[in-house]
């Protein structure tokens, strides 16, 4: 099962890099979201997939008697999901405002701050 999830992580990373290299802001936004999901899946896969008992140590024992699930990757992923949703919401509003102001979704047509014929830099001082 870990091999299939590792391959799925690779697919997520590949798709996200492809979408991040696009010129469309919406594709970039979706690429960032898919990248975050790929990282979450990678953390979950690295934390070992086991269907064992919950991570509770019985009374009187210092360590569990059998293998237990690792709670740390699960806690990290839950935190990363919340942070990823907040980042997605912020970037969605930022993209919407940029589209309203510049009336463009393509990053090549959003270059208002760069002049078309920039002056040459000074060759000496």
pLDDT, tens only, 10-65: 999 999 999 999 989 999 999 999 999 999 999 888 877 666 667 777 788 888 77
- Give the CB-side neighbour count of residue 3, counting CA atoms within 13 A: 0
Residue 44: per-residue pLDDT: 84
The pLDDT assigned to 26 comes to: 92
Query: In this structure, is residue 33 part of a structural domain?
Result: yes
Is 86 domain-assigned?
yes
Whether residue 116 is contained in a domain is answered as: no
**Amino acid 49: pLDDT:** 67
Tell me, what's the pLDDT at 92? 95
Q: Is the pLDDT of residue 122 over 90?
A: no
**Domain presence at residue 6:** yes
Number of domain units in the chain: 1
Task: With respect to residue 35, please indicate whether it lies within any of the assigned structural domains.
Answer: yes
For residue 117, is it within any domain?
Answer: no
Which CATH number does the domain housing residue 94 bear? 1.10.287.3510
Does any domain span residue 62? no
pLDDT in tens, 85-112: 999 999 999 999 989 988 888 888 887 7
- pLDDT of 51 reads 64
Tell me, what's the pLDDT at 89?
96
Residue 8 structural domain = 2-52+69-108
Neighbour-count burial of 93, counting CB atoms closer than 10 A to its CB (0-12 exposed, 13-18 middle, 19+ buried): exposed
The H helix count followed by the E strand count for the chain is 3, 0
Whether 12 is covered by a domain: the verdict is: yes
Higher pLDDT, 114 or 110: 110
């Amino acid at each position: 099962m870990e091999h299939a999830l590792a391959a799925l992580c690779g697919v997520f990373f590949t798709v996200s890099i492809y979408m991040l290299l696009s010129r469309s802001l919406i594709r970039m936004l979706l690429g960032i979201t898919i990248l975050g999901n790929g990282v979450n899946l990678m953390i979950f896969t690295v934390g070992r997939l086991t269907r064992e008992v919950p991570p509770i140590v019985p009374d009187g024992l210092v360590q569990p008697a059998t293998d237990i699930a690792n709670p740390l990757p699960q806690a990290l992923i839950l935190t990363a999901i919340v942070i990823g949703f907040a980042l997605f919401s912020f970037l969605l509003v930022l993209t919407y405002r940029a589209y309203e102001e510049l009336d463009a979704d393509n990053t090549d047509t959003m270059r208002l701050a760069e002049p078309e014929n920039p002056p040459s830099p000074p060759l000496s001082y």
